[in-house]
Amino acid sequence: MTEHQLFEELKKLSLKYIEICAKCGQCRVICPVYENTGKEPSTARAKISLVEALLSERFIPGKRFNEIISQCTLCMGCMEKCPNDVRVDLIVAVGRFISNENHFSIVKSLLFRYLLMNSKRLGFTLKTIRPFQRFALRNSSLLPRLFKRRYIPKIANKFIREKFGILAKAGAEKGRITFFPGCLLDFFFPETGESLINILNLSGLSVFIPDRWACCGIPAIGYGDLMNAYRMAVHNARLLGDCGGDLILTACGSCGATLREHAPFLFGWAERKIEDVGKRVRDIMEFIHAEKEIRHIFQNINFPKKIFYHPSCHLKRGMGVHGEVLEVIKDIKGINLTVMEDRCCGFGGSFNLKWYEFSSEIGERRVMVLKEERPDYLLTGSPGCAIHFQDLLLKNGLHIKIVHPVVMLKEALLSGQKIPL
Amino acid sequence: MTTSQIEKGLKKIKSLFGKRALDSTEDLIIYSFDASKKESLPYMVVYPENEEEISEMVKIASEFRIPLVPRGAGSGFAGGSIAKIGGVIISSEGMRQIKEIDEKNMLAIVEPGVITGNLHRAVEKKNLFYPPDPASLEFSTIGGNVSTNAGGLRAVKYGVTRDYVLSLRVVLADGSIIKTRADTLKDVTGYDITGLFVGAEGTLGFVSEITIKLIPKPERRGTLLATFPSTENAVDAGIEIIRRGCVPATMEFMDRTAIELVRSHSGLKIPSGIGSALLLEDDGFEEAVKRSLKIMEEVCLEKGAVEVEGTMDEEKKEEMWKIRRAISPSLAKIAPLRFNQDVVVLRTKIPQLLKLAEAIGQKHRIPVVNFGHLGDGNIHVNFLFKTADEEDRAKGAVRELLRNVFEMGGSISGEHGIGMAKLLYVKELAPPRMIEIMRGIKYLFDPKNIFNPGKVIPRD
């Protein structure tokens, strides 16, 4: 597949959706970007009209186009509101694809084409720069400008694969299941993966962690590098397609949504395996919810904590996983759970990198309620949201533990009192 | 005026607004359309923040004869906010302040860019109520609502936007700023100038501030869903309910096709074979709502309702509303595009209107779905289409419908406005003397035709 072929196919697909956009304007109602600017250029229909004009070659994209098309967190809120089910995510990605054509960047091709294509390579690189990162974090003047004055997650001391090898075996093995860790989980938040593995092992499931997986592709999609996103999707589909077993678990809403929804939608026509693999993907909380035996473990625990849950856009809108998470959390006795407003935190990956102030302003609106309520835990299903919230909390001088729900589950198991039967 | 003169004027306007003036191709494309699917590129978009700025700009525009097009959220169905012959879009997006909510006098002073839904929430916090609720209230602006005299679901009991506008501040075409009236409940000093601006679609001036009348927030709300074997039963029931002294806040009608569509596309549980349905709602003191629900139920059963259920329970109400709200998304499933007409007839003529719509749909081979505000006779007749060929046929169907509605003594637009979409029909159907009078009014306020040219009033 050449880049040109890919573009032509995705262009065709976009036009199908552009055609049915009624330009009604409802898309702005829960748009985090519009919430901030209050101006039409931030709306989804504005972006759609621009991509439409571009695809029909009515104008040449300039700086302003790049600016407008990059101001989207890809939260899919507009898609939830759209009466015609227009795939705004696709149209924005295609818009960025076009706007990027003229902006070849060596750093980005190194990242997408080389590092994110192979987890082993990425792990090795991160390990190499780990001492430098530690040093720079202590002397912030050494940080590149992009990373100053903001929270940067630490490269983990031990990656998931280093700790568990290729198979995390359960004591009394009843079955095996595949786990796709993804970049952020494996190299920055291994405790999420560890908690997942511990809980599954406890229930008799051995966890298989494949080698040399590629990034799920969401950063590349977000950046508009659809060619590399395609390569990643194909790589992962072949790798995971050959893994035995039935289900593939993720504990990152972004990876899950990409493997299960975005990649099959964007590239399924080119490689059937992408769709087949997508159908097997489950979020860990969704999985626990469906497995009575595992769920049962948490029903006899008391864990009196005040908990706030931020629905990650990728988990809720991308994967459609929401009620399941809440039900599993509510199984635990003593928990005081508040579900936060269902709006994007403002992270949006490349959006946060390019429009940091903007991204923070959106986030500040979400943090207000945390300032008042000061919960013990803030749970969210995507590490992207967690990074952003950590940054916001630090700036506000708040100390709230931000973790994936599965980490809280493990902590509840460890410290929670068993309810006397 | 020559192009170079226009450019000179635009330069002046640009320097007046600085960064709040946009003229990149991208921005012009973004501001070239609204929900009518018509489009035309403006010369520039500006975001004024106060009326003095607007006044300054109007003076420049008048000198250089540059058209000015007021725009709220651009969610209109008639193309009212499109720069039809070019010009500068005056976006109210920079004027978003609720300046005052006066609890004791029960009024609010707001800027035109306030989103109607936000106004609702702000006044309801103070136990006050702003009744007009157009379907677009979560994104349309109060300025846009005033300019189109927007209606909504609650119009049958509470009236339309006009009924809640006490006074306006308006920037006129010569740059002068007027306040149309005192903020008092009564004021008969001279003509009703306020009423002229409400529904004028920005052709007479730019509304820069609106004083809105508020009422106490009703204590409770009760909802009733009734299904009928035929359209006539539902209409009879609707008329009789009001005759018995119960004016429901909402009286939404859904025809057979609308219900069938929702049934097969939304996943909601609805029995099959329903001829039509009414969604009724009343609000007020608890005792009054209970009484209303009882009357509505009695009348519906008398008029042959198959099933009637009334409730004051929030969750159940939500369930009932889901059916009404599911109509638009369900329509989209069979045809993404549609001409949504907002014709109005006398209540008693609704069955005739529905039969007519059906016949026109069949004649032009276009699916037609009817639903809307039965209480005020404002029925949304939707002609659905997908392809260009179907679109042509749908246009023919619209033409025929509007002509017939006019002959029935009804109106071709109840709440969307004329804009550029229905200009031809006004020319064809409105009495010439009325058009003359409107032209005279336009000339009086805007002799150079600066404000939103080519809208509302047809040319000779």
Task: Inspect the interface and report whether the beta carbons of A46 and B75 lie closer than 8 Å.
Answer: no
Which pLDDT tens digit goes with each residue over B137-168?
999 999 999 999 999 999 999 999 999 999 99
Distance between A70 CA and the closest CA of chain B, angstroms: 13
Q: How far is B1 from B7, CA to CA, in rounded Å?
A: 10
Nearest CA in chain B to A18: B336
* B266: confidence class by pLDDT, cuts 50, 70, 90: confident
- Helix pair angle (B51-64, B3-17), 10° resolution: 170
Instruction: Quote the pLDDT of residue A1.
Output: 86
Average the pLDDT over B92-113 and give the result.
Answer: 98
Task: Inspect the interface and report whether the beta carbons of A40 and B30 lie closer than 8 Å.
Answer: yes
Global pTM?
0.93
Instruction: Quote the pLDDT of residue B359.
Output: 96
Distance between A341 CA and the closest CA of chain B, angstroms: 16
Q: Which residues of B touch A53 (CB under 8 A)?
A: 29
3-state helix, strand, coil in chain A (%, to 5): 60, 10, 30
Which pLDDT tens digit goes with each residue over B298-342?
999 999 999 999 999 999 998 899 888 888 888 888 887 888 899
Which residue did the predictor score with more confidence, B327 or B441? B441
- Supply the ipTM of this predicted assembly: 0.93
Average the pLDDT over B86-95 and give the result.
Answer: 98
Task: Inspect the interface and report whether the beta carbons of B24 and A38 lie closer than 8 Å.
Answer: no
Which pLDDT tens digit goes with each residue over B375-399?
999 999 999 998 889 999 999 999 9
Which of A22, A59, A84 has its CB closest to that of B25?
A59
Residue ranges in chain A whose pLDDT is less than 50? 420-421
Which pLDDT tens digit goes with each residue over B23-43?
999 999 999 999 988 999 999
Q: Which residues of B touch A62 (CB under 8 A)?
A: 24-26
Task: Inspect the interface and report whether the beta carbons of B136 and A25 lie closer than 8 Å.
Answer: yes
Q: Per the structure block, which two tokens stand in for B116?
A: 């109607």
Q: Which residue, among B17, B19, B23, B30, would best test binding to A if mutated, counting the most A CBs under 10 Å from its CB?
A: B30
Instruction: Quote the pLDDT of residue A421.
Output: 43
Task: Inspect the interface and report whether the beta carbons of B30 and A49 lie closer than 8 Å.
Answer: yes
Does residue B22 carry a pLDDT above 60?
A: yes
Does residue B1 carry a pLDDT above 70?
A: no
Instruction: Quote the pLDDT of residue B199.
Output: 97
Q: How far is A88 from A344, CA to CA, in rounded Å?
A: 15
> Which percentage of chain B shows pLDDT scores above 70?
100
Instruction: Quote the pLDDT of residue A419.
Output: 54
Instruction: Quote the pLDDT of residue A103.
Output: 61
In whole angstroms, what separates CA A394 from the centre of its chain? 21
Query: What are the residues of chain B with a beta carbon less than 8 Å away from any beta carbon of chain A?
Result: 24-27, 29-35, 37, 47, 73-75, 91, 93, 96, 113, 136, 138-140, 328-329, 331-332, 336-337
Instruction: Quote the pLDDT of residue A418.
Output: 65
Q: Which residues of A touch B34 (CB under 8 A)?
A: 23, 25
* Other C-beta atoms lying within 10 Å of the C-beta of residue B86: 16
Query: Which amino acid would we find at residue A23?
Result: K
- Here the contacts of B383-386 (C-beta below 8 Å, separation 24 or greater) are B383/B338, B383/B339, B383/B341, B384/B331, B384/B334, B384/B335, B384/B337, B384/B338, B385/B335, B385/B337, B385/B338, B385/B339, B386/B335, B386/B336, B386/B337
